[in-house]
Amino acid sequence: MICYLLFLQAFESYGKQIEMFKESVKDMLIARTGDVVDKISLIDLLCRLGLSYHFQSDIEEHLQRIFCAHPNLLDTSDYDLYTVALVFRVFRQHGYKMPCDVFKKFIDNDGKFKEALTGDPKGMLSLYEASYLGMHGEDILDEALAFTLAHLESLASRSNPLLKKQIMNALQWPYHRCTPRIAARQNNSLYEEDESRNETLLQFAKIDFNRVQLLHQHELSQLTRWYKDLNVGTLFPYTRHRIVETHVWASEMYFEPQYSYGRIVITKVIAILSLLDDTYDVYGTIEELDRFTDAIIRWDSSALDELPEYMKFLYGISLNLFDELERELTKEGRSYSINYARETVRFNLLFSTIHGLQTLFQLD
């Protein structure tokens, strides 16, 4: 109880600070500026620092307005490689059909990217990040990736310390392929070294990251306590203990604070499915698994009497977990969705697993 109160106090304290920062940053977003690229750069920075979820509707509104008001933005202005790649990537990341033809002006007569571009390490890094937003058939972006990969590492060695770190970090973790929390942590550190940084944005990013991390830690504390109370280690010594791993998965799918309950549910479900999977793969006999499969199909507590002792507990926690989910979803008027989860367990998991076992042992 004391730990929970301390968590709540710290979480609320962070929340109050964040609300103040949000007002300041929102003013930056809505401020009128003659240069739309500056607005796009700010949006990109908010995304990189892990703050964009606070301003989702504002960001979409601004991008929609810019995209509609300036349909040929990159064609009508003589922007450099860095700017073209930045604008292209930001719009693509948000689902806009930005044509890859905007890079044609950087192609020479031989159909290759101009060698002179290698003298612009910042532009090359921007092009590299943009190349990961390519779609099938966009050869120019495939060429962009190959071209930048061939030069970036050597360019890093000749760049200033911050740009060198940015290049090496991007080569290891391309932004488009990096999980949101890892990207935010890395970009917060890099932004702190930027002499042109905005202190308000930096402090906002730090506090927000700490607040989200605190919530994730609290969730994991709840989940490990739940898992420990199940006594899985004693009852199922053959299984993998993956509660931390599965929570990381859930956190990378939906890291935002408002999805806390969803992360807990996903983690619990995956933990139970993992336990079922290990039971089928390495422990249960064919006869036991046949009976367990029949019980899952019936999805009724009356099937408990027909199961081996260790399977009774496994079956019981599976029923209890989905009953808990149904109660919570009923409160939200979405109880119908629990049926889809049950069907997944019944058919997609268990039928495919038992079929694999039958094939392995060549059983009818």
**In the predicted structure, residue 116 carries a pLDDT above the cut 80:** yes
Whether 101 and 236 share a structural domain: no
Whether 240 and 337 share a structural domain: yes
Write the DSSP symbol of residue 151.
T
Of the residues 157, 172, 197, which one is the last residue of a structural domain?
Answer: 197
Whether 50 and 187 share a structural domain: yes
Percent of the chain with pLDDT over 90: 65
Residue 7 belongs to a domain = no
Whether 151 and 95 share a structural domain: yes
DSSP-based three-state secondary structure for 107: strand
Residue 13 belongs to a domain = no
Asked whether 346 and 289 are in contact (CB, 8 A), the reply is no
Q: Give the residue-averaged pLDDT of 265-282.
A: 89
Q: What pLDDT does 350 receive?
A: 59
Whether 244 and 191 share a structural domain: no
d(CA 81, CA 163) in angstroms, rounded, equals 16
Q: Quote the number of domains for the chain.
A: 2
Q: What pLDDT does 224 receive?
A: 95
Of the residues 163, 197, 231, which one is the last residue of a structural domain?
Answer: 197
Q: Across the chain, what does the average pLDDT equal?
A: 90
Q: Give the residue-averaged pLDDT of 25-44.
A: 89
**CATH at residue 104:** 1.50.10.130
Helix axes 36-48, 2-30, angle to 10 degrees: 170
Q: What pLDDT does 360 receive?
A: 52
Q: Give the residue-averaged pLDDT of 91-118.
A: 95
Of the residues 139, 170, 197, which one is the last residue of a structural domain?
Answer: 197
Q: Give the residue-averaged pLDDT of 138-167.
A: 96
Considering only residues 76 and 170, tell me which one the structure prediction assigns the higher pLDDT.
170
Q: What pLDDT does 218 receive?
A: 95
**In the predicted structure, residue 167 carries a pLDDT above the cut 70:** yes
d(CA 13, CA 303) in angstroms, rounded, equals 49
**In the predicted structure, residue 288 carries a pLDDT above the cut 70:** yes
Whether 92 and 43 share a structural domain: yes
Residue 22 belongs to a domain = no
The backbone torsions φ and ψ at residue 96, rounded to the nearest 5 degrees and listed phi first, read -90, 145
**Chain-centroid distance, C-alpha 155:** 30
Indicate the range of 216-225, 233-242, 243-252, 340-349 predicted with least confidence: 340-349
Kindly report the pTM of this predicted structure. Answer: 0.88
Domain of 259 in residue numbering reads as: 208-361
Residue 217 belongs to a domain = yes
Residue 18 belongs to a domain = no
**In the predicted structure, residue 364 carries a pLDDT above the cut 50:** no
Residue 361 pLDDT class (50, 70, 90 cuts): low
Residues of the chain by 3-state class (helix, strand, coil), percent to 5: 80, 0, 20
Residue 167 belongs to a domain = yes
Residue 54 belongs to a domain = yes
**In the predicted structure, residue 41 carries a pLDDT above the cut 60:** yes
**CATH at residue 232:** 1.10.600.10
Q: What pLDDT does 126 receive?
A: 98
Residue 79 belongs to a domain = yes
Only one residue has tokens 């693509």, namely 92
Whether 217 and 189 share a structural domain: no
Whether 239 and 186 share a structural domain: no
pLDDT tens digits for 199-215?
999 999 999 999 999 99
pLDDT tens digits for 54-72?
999 999 999 999 999 988 8
Q: Give the residue-averaged pLDDT of 340-358.
A: 64
Whether 49 and 154 share a structural domain: yes
Whether 343 and 302 share a structural domain: yes
Q: Give the residue-averaged pLDDT of 85-92.
A: 97
Q: Which of 157-171, 272-286, 347-361 shows the highest mean pLDDT?
A: 157-171
Only one residue has tokens 């609320």, namely 12
Whether 177 and 228 share a structural domain: no
**In the predicted structure, residue 2 carries a pLDDT above the cut 60:** yes
Whether 248 and 296 share a structural domain: yes
* Planar angle of CA 120, 126, 127, nearest 5 degrees: 85
**In the predicted structure, residue 358 carries a pLDDT above the cut 80:** no
pLDDT tens digits for 314-333?
999 989 988 888 888 888 78
